[in-house]
Structure 1
Amino acid sequence: REVALPNGPLYRVAGFPLSIPCHVSGYEGSRTQEFEWFLYREDSGGRQMGVVSTRDKGFPYTPFQARVRNGEVRVERDSGDKVRLVIQRLRVEDQGKYECYTPSTDTTYQGNYSGSVTVKVIPDSLQISYTRSLTSQPVPEGAELTLTCSSSIRSEQLTHLSITFGKRDGGERSDSGAGGEVSTIREIISIDRLLGVVPGRFYKKRYDDGEITLQKRNGEGGQGLYVMKMKAVQPDDAGSYFCEASQWIRDPDRTWQRIAQRTLDIGNLTVQPLAESLGVTSSPRGEVTLQVGSPLILTCEVLGLASEVNSGLLVQWMKRGSVSGDIVEVARMSPDGVVSWGDDLSRASGGSMEKVSEGKYSLKLFSVRPADSGVYRCVVSVYAGRKNPSPSTPATLTQRSDGVTVNLKIKEVLVSAVAQLPRGPLLKRGSTVTLICNTTVTTTGPVQVQVQWLRWPMPKPVNPRKPGGVQLDSGAVTPPMLIAALMYDGVANIYVNDSEISIDRLSAISYRLRIHMVTVEDQGLYGCRAEVWGQDQHGGWYSTGAKAESNAVNVYLYARAADLLLIPLVVGISSALFVGILIIATVTCCFMKRLARQRAPK
């Protein structure tokens, strides 16, 4: 039999719990062993004092009777042969040597029936305080939170100090049915006994992102000053905050033991969510009607941002087109003030986006075009408490304004286009193909026509609908290839490199496409597409949106005379050669046979 206790001496702090484990092994009899604890005070002259027993309620001596009755001194059983002596509030007079005795259950004497360990009681020197408590005043989401806690210990023994900042969340109902609320304690961040910074389980990502920090500084009177900062509080950060200081010592068995602990409530934090205060408005409101070429000025205002919160803003102007219904980005200003243009990059030279004042932004289009009509909205993404967020940082909240409908007074434009293949000699390989596109525009004011030439593959079969052309069914053919274009400003663009192509303007309404040295690959159906461009009051050109596609004409190449003679020539030569070889072979064969008969012996 052996009774085991930890090695001593054990240094513990007055006023705080003492726990001594005792384990018996190698015994006979019942698996549930009994235990009796004795104390030998240093001034008792070796006399023992009964503390507590697992089998005898009358075992404690007078100094311990009341403490045993009220549970301050007790034995807690971990298993049948393992218990712990617990003194809830250690006193100075509790110092001495504690003996754990196990009454015999063995048939014969088998070894040690008791073990002992010395306990030293040291004064309580753990101090903790805070600089400023939290008030009940709500803190806006994204504001910075700073909590400061001071703590120190003075001990002749080598002890270490750890500091923990934590939070209690209330509001959860208990399962007891009494209707009470149960608080959930969450550790935010700590400096452990070895001076390492350790984030709580629920706060590790924010700590890794640098949003929560804890620093130790030198305070007055030798105290340590511990400063915890949250760069941007969130609604989930609401709750009751506390600071906890713990004193640690390393026992002779090399294990760390917490010997003192104090918790100090700092106050309650109430967070006002950004969603309850943020507002985004745009002006002018409702509907705006402008002439083509007029300037468009839209203003976006962000309301409800707390002045003490240093937040970054991403401001975007979005537009839903009045014709297509697609939503596109017009322009944006990033939190660092950089302006970029969205889907229509040409606007970069024809507009501006500026920060007029704090929380107020303007979008200017110097000369509106028909494509600028639609519904505009200002979309604001707020990064609460983060002035310059990283690209991977999610926005705290995104809100958009009501729509501003922009209508343009567009003059009526009618346009038509007809493609023609002028009559002439049959088209053959190597000749020049000429195609004419005649356009008709009905409108007021100066206009220009932009013409594109398109080619479709040769259909199977080709079905002429009318003299001089084939009417295309756009749903039944493959997409066309863009061959060439004459822009509204007179610039000619050729898009096919394997053919010699030229394009020019014959008159105000007539446009010509020529394909020089035509090849078989140039065969197909050809058509033209006309688009009308108007001129605004400032002299700038814009697309009116009026378009027309012509009929399609069939370009087919006939064989040349030289190509037609080639076949009989080849056939004639081949036939003559075959006949000559046949005659020569026949004559030679007969002559050789006759010669062989003449030389045969008679």
Structure 2
Amino acid sequence: MKSVMAGIKSTLFVCLHYVLQYAVSREVTVPTGPLYRVAGFSLSVPCAVSGYEGPRMQDFEWFLYRDDLGDRQIGVVSTKDKGFPYAPYQARVRNGEVRVDRDSGDHVRLVVQRLRTDDQGKYECYTPSTDNAYLGSYSSSVVVKVIPDTLQISYSRSLTGQPLPEGAELTLTCSASIRSEQLTHLSITFGKRSGQAGSGGTVGPELSTVQVIISIDKLLGVVPGLAYKKRYDDGDITLEKRNGEGGQDLYIMKIKVLQPNDTGAYFCEAAQWIRDPDRSWQKIAYRTLDIGNLTVKQLSESLSVTSKPQGEVTLQVGSPLLLTCEVNGLPSDVNSGLQIQWMKRGSAGGEFIGSGGTEVEVARMSPDGIVSWGDDVSRASGGSMEKVEDAKYSLKLFSARPSDTGVYRCVVSVYAGRRIPAPSMPATLTQRSEGVTVNLKTKDVVVSAEAQLAQGPLLKRGSTITLLCTATITTTGPAQAQVQWLRWPLPEPQIRSSKNTTPEPALPVEPKPVATLTYDGIVEIYGNGSEVSVDRLSVVSYRLRVHAATIEDQGMYACRAEAWGQDPHGGWYNSGVKAESNAVTVYLYARVADLLLIPLVVGVSSALLVGIVIIAAVTCCFMKRLAKQRARR
């Protein structure tokens, strides 16, 4: 029995030994064939060896079995023997047209740069043994079929190098076709080479960069280049395939809006693709055509914006103001959208004109012709903004006011190649004209204001505060006063210093508006909870009444008068001349009822407290006596 078990163990050991040897035996692999490649283009066949013994750097030898020579083998190239190639390949190996490129020690590729018809056949990759025992496979073969070159490509119009304006449209057309018995696909790529200047200012091909603009890939899908994806998504770049004549298809690329960085040398590439048995796609033929050079002329080199009249304009109040904006240098063959803005810098009333101050928008015309008014919406009925002719726009104020004094500029935003741009789209270029200074001659106006507290009994809480304002305007022509009442809080009591008998002045406090009587008789109340009324007693006298006054209504009151004049067209305007009256102090005293209430409250509180104390004392004593009587019993 023991001898039988020993025999079984020996057999199992031998079997295991052979299984392990087989598992680590040498194996050479090449792609599954047949591989179809095009004459005149390159062939690359990978070969790898695994499961070997010996050094990591393995040698490889390639043989060819041509169809017309039967089983005769031709030595093509070897990694260890320079004299290995047979006569048909000796010269091609020497000049590098046929070679072995090594990816790693046990992975190489046979490269034939320009395939010939007689290169067709079965290629065998052989690896000389470095193993202790001859076990496994030492070679593997793949069939290569060389098919004729039928790829054709052409273009319909070349670029001459003539500059195109920024925003113009570019259309390039390529024709391409293939005729093959095998199932192959055709891809088309439009690209651009951009030269970069070296230190000497010259541009050389070694410094150029190639960018893919857009292509129809081997799977027949449209794919934009990485740098052009956003423009493709925005619809600025398209690629279309059309049926052409003679079996050739037309491929039309459009760049709808040229940008300065589109300058460069353009090309079109057609490539033939085939799917190998291992399901991988291989480019087996390609051709590139240079279409020509393109220069994009920037809009900033030609655009200019001028406003007229130039320099300085002086007008009488009520006269019309007419400003014109001219846009020059726009390319006539580019359909661009324009946004025209009139901006003004300067304070109302002409108190300040210059480069300082806040610039505000007066009016705007959008690219679709819609006019909107900026800082002064009332101008929508007192002015107009129009397109007089191509690239010429006017701003007209029918009756100029003192507040129209300032420096005007025309601001033009150009959307090159986009007649109606999207709301969020930035302008291609924005330019401003020189400033036009507008001065208005106003009438001599003198305004005075005086405030006083109306005579009456002592003011108490709940009384009606009555304040009078005398506002006079001295000028020629019709004028009206606009009166506003202001209130400051009562100043805090000042603490005198022992070293300095002069009290320190209180910090200024911004007044709060109480009410306004406008020049046209409209009352505006800025309420704090109290009932307020304003009326006009005479031509120069105005009255403010605060009914049922509270403690919050006391303070220092003043009136501010502004002069409004009337222009020849009957419109009223703020002359900008104003005056502020003296301040009147309003203090509210406590009422008699309030004064009597204080002792009454104090008396009642005292009496109540005394009563509580007496009742508590009596109750306490009574409870103690009652407790003693119960204890005696």
Calculate the TM-score normalised by the size of structure 2. 0.88
Kindly state the Cα deviation for residue 557 of structure 1 after the two structures are TM-superposed. 1.2
Kindly state the Cα deviation for residue 417 of structure 1 after the two structures are TM-superposed. 1.5
Kindly state the Cα deviation for residue 62 of structure 1 after the two structures are TM-superposed. 1.6
For residues 564 and 620 of structure 2, the distance between their equivalents in structure 1, rounded to whole angstroms, comes to: 85
Unaligned runs of 5+ in 1: 464-472
Kindly state the Cα deviation for residue 569 of structure 1 after the two structures are TM-superposed. 3.1
1:554 aligns with 2:585: yes
Q: Partner of 1:189: helix, strand, or coil?
A: strand
Which residue pairs with 2:596 in the alignment? 565
1:239 aligns with 2:264: yes
Kindly state the Cα deviation for residue 574 of structure 1 after the two structures are TM-superposed. 4.7
Kindly state the Cα deviation for residue 520 of structure 1 after the two structures are TM-superposed. 2.3
For residues 362 and 513 of structure 1, the distance between their equivalents in structure 2, rounded to whole angstroms, comes to: 46
Which residue pairs with 1:359 in the alignment? 391
Preserved CA contact (<8 Å) 2:196 2:204: no
Give per-residue Cα distances to partners, 1:36-79, cap 9 Å, x unaligned.
11111111021011111222222222211221222111111112
Instruction: Label 1:265 to 1:577 Cα distance change in 2 as closer, same or farther (>3 A).
Output: closer
Give per-residue Cα distances to partners, 1:124-148, cap 9 Å, x unaligned.
1111111111112110010000111
Give per-residue Cα distances to partners, 1:184-221, cap 9 Å, x unaligned.
11100111111111111111111111111111111122
Which residue pairs with 2:84 in the alignment? 59
Which residue pairs with 2:23 in the alignment? none
Worse-matched range after superposition: 425-434 or 517-526: 517-526
Q: 2:441 aligns with which of 396, 409, 412?
A: 409
Kindly state the Cα deviation for residue 31 of structure 1 after the two structures are TM-superposed. 1.9
Q: 2:236 aligns with which of 201, 211, 226?
A: 211
1:476 aligns with 2:501: no
Kindly state the Cα deviation for residue 498 of structure 1 after the two structures are TM-superposed. 2.4
For residues 624 and 51 of structure 2, the distance between their equivalents in structure 1, rounded to whole angstroms, comes to: 128
Percent sequence identity is 75
For residues 79 and 597 of structure 1, the distance between their equivalents in structure 2, rounded to whole angstroms, comes to: 120
Which residue pairs with 1:533 in the alignment? 564
For residues 117 and 83 of structure 1, the distance between their equivalents in structure 2, rounded to whole angstroms, comes to: 15
Matched AA of 1:404 = V
Kindly state the Cα deviation for residue 461 of structure 1 after the two structures are TM-superposed. 2.4
Preserved CA contact (<8 Å) 1:23 1:82: yes
Matched AA of 1:301 = E
For residues 446 and 592 of structure 2, the distance between their equivalents in structure 1, rounded to whole angstroms, comes to: 47
For residues 64 and 630 of structure 2, the distance between their equivalents in structure 1, rounded to whole angstroms, comes to: 151
Which residue pairs with 1:224 in the alignment? 249
Which residue pairs with 1:514 in the alignment? 545
Q: 2:376 aligns with which of 344, 360, 366?
A: 344
Preserved CA contact (<8 Å) 2:307 2:323: yes
For residues 490 and 139 of structure 2, the distance between their equivalents in structure 1, rounded to whole angstroms, comes to: 108
1:91 aligns with 2:102: no
For residues 151 and 595 of structure 1, the distance between their equivalents in structure 2, rounded to whole angstroms, comes to: 128
Instruction: Label 1:550 to 1:354 Cα distance change in 2 as closer, same or farther (>3 A).
Output: same
Q: Partner of 2:72: helix, strand, or coil?
A: coil
For residues 580 and 8 of structure 1, the distance between their equivalents in structure 2, rounded to whole angstroms, comes to: 121
> What does 1:302-381 align with in structure 2 at a 5 Å threshold?
302-322=327-347, 323=351, 325-381=357-413
Instruction: Label 1:578 to 1:286 Cα distance change in 2 as closer, same or farther (>3 A).
Output: closer
Kindly state the Cα deviation for residue 424 of structure 1 after the two structures are TM-superposed. 2.3
Q: 2:226 aligns with which of 180, 187, 201?
A: 201
For residues 56 and 591 of structure 1, the distance between their equivalents in structure 2, rounded to whole angstroms, comes to: 136
Give per-residue Cα distances to partners, 1:559-581, cap 9 Å, x unaligned.
22222222233344455566677
Which residue pairs with 2:420 in the alignment? 388
Q: Partner of 1:6: helix, strand, or coil?
A: coil
Which residue pairs with 1:36 in the alignment? 61
Worse-matched range after superposition: 385-394 or 27-36: 27-36
Calculate the TM-score normalised by the size of structure 1. 0.93
For residues 229 and 414 of structure 1, the distance between their equivalents in structure 2, rounded to whole angstroms, comes to: 69
Which residue pairs with 1:295 in the alignment? 320
For residues 240 and 456 of structure 1, the distance between their equivalents in structure 2, rounded to whole angstroms, comes to: 75
For residues 214 and 203 of structure 1, the distance between their equivalents in structure 2, rounded to whole angstroms, comes to: 13
Instruction: Compute the RMSD of aligned alpha carbons.
Output: 2.7
> What does 1:44-193 align with in structure 2 at a 5 Å threshold?
44-173=69-198, 181-193=206-218
Matched AA of 1:330 = V
Preserved CA contact (<8 Å) 1:174 1:182: no
Give per-residue Cα distances to partners, 1:274-320, cap 9 Å, x unaligned.
11111111111111100001001111111111111111111111111
Kindly state the Cα deviation for residue 87 of structure 1 after the two structures are TM-superposed. 0.8
For residues 243 and 537 of structure 2, the distance between their equivalents in structure 1, rounded to whole angstroms, comes to: 90
Q: Partner of 1:253: helix, strand, or coil?
A: coil
1:397 aligns with 2:429: yes
Which residue pairs with 2:286 in the alignment? 261
Kindly state the Cα deviation for residue 462 of structure 1 after the two structures are TM-superposed. 8.2
Kindly state the Cα deviation for residue 2 of structure 1 after the two structures are TM-superposed. 1.2
Q: 2:458 aligns with which of 426, 431, 437?
A: 426
Instruction: Label 1:145 to 1:599 Cα distance change in 2 as closer, same or farther (>3 A).
Output: closer
Give per-residue Cα distances to partners, 1:215-266, cap 9 Å, x unaligned.
1111122322111111111111011100101111110111111000111111
For residues 620 and 195 of structure 2, the distance between their equivalents in structure 1, rounded to whole angstroms, comes to: 121
1:485 aligns with 2:523: no
Larger fraction in helix: 2
Instruction: Label 1:573 to 1:192 Cα distance change in 2 as closer, same or farther (>3 A).
Output: closer
For residues 613 and 133 of structure 2, the distance between their equivalents in structure 1, rounded to whole angstroms, comes to: 133
Kindly state the Cα deviation for residue 178 of structure 1 after the two structures are TM-superposed. 12
Give per-residue Cα distances to partners, 1:299-345, cap 9 Å, x unaligned.
11111111111111111111111545210010111111111111111
Preserved CA contact (<8 Å) 1:173 1:180: no
For residues 379 and 597 of structure 2, the distance between their equivalents in structure 1, rounded to whole angstroms, comes to: 61
Preserved CA contact (<8 Å) 1:434 1:514: yes
Which residue pairs with 1:459 in the alignment? 491
For residues 314 and 275 of structure 2, the distance between their equivalents in structure 1, rounded to whole angstroms, comes to: 81
Kindly state the Cα deviation for residue 508 of structure 1 after the two structures are TM-superposed. 2.0
Unaligned runs of 5+ in 2: 1-25, 496-504
Which residue pairs with 1:21 in the alignment? 46
Preserved CA contact (<8 Å) 2:195 2:203: no
For residues 597 and 79 of structure 1, the distance between their equivalents in structure 2, rounded to whole angstroms, comes to: 120
For residues 480 and 436 of structure 1, the distance between their equivalents in structure 2, rounded to whole angstroms, comes to: 18
Q: Partner of 1:382: helix, strand, or coil?
A: strand
Worse-matched range after superposition: 573-582 or 219-228: 573-582
Which residue pairs with 1:470 in the alignment? none
Q: 1:544 aligns with which of 563, 567, 575?
A: 575
Which residue pairs with 1:468 in the alignment? none
Matched AA of 2:533 = S
Q: Partner of 1:173: helix, strand, or coil?
A: coil
Instruction: Label 1:579 to 1:377 Cα distance change in 2 as closer, same or farther (>3 A).
Output: closer
Worse-matched range after superposition: 519-528 or 289-298: 519-528
Q: Partner of 1:225: helix, strand, or coil?
A: strand
Instruction: Label 1:26 to 1:425 Cα distance change in 2 as closer, same or farther (>3 A).
Output: same
Q: 2:525 aligns with which of 494, 503, 506?
A: 494
Q: Partner of 1:75: helix, strand, or coil?
A: strand
For residues 224 and 478 of structure 2, the distance between their equivalents in structure 1, rounded to whole angstroms, comes to: 72
Instruction: Label 1:57 to 1:514 Cα distance change in 2 as closer, same or farther (>3 A).
Output: same
Matched AA of 1:399 = Q
Kindly state the Cα deviation for residue 591 of structure 1 after the two structures are TM-superposed. 10
Which residue pairs with 2:33 in the alignment? 8
Which residue pairs with 2:6 in the alignment? none
Give per-residue Cα distances to partners, 1:87-137, cap 9 Å, x unaligned.
111111111001111122222212211111000011111111111111121
Instruction: Label 1:181 to 1:88 Cα distance change in 2 as closer, same or farther (>3 A).
Output: closer
For residues 373 and 107 of structure 2, the distance between their equivalents in structure 1, rounded to whole angstroms, comes to: 75
Worse-matched range after superposition: 328-337 or 501-510: 501-510
For residues 305 and 70 of structure 2, the distance between their equivalents in structure 1, rounded to whole angstroms, comes to: 83
For residues 204 and 247 of structure 2, the distance between their equivalents in structure 1, rounded to whole angstroms, comes to: 46
1:250 aligns with 2:282: no
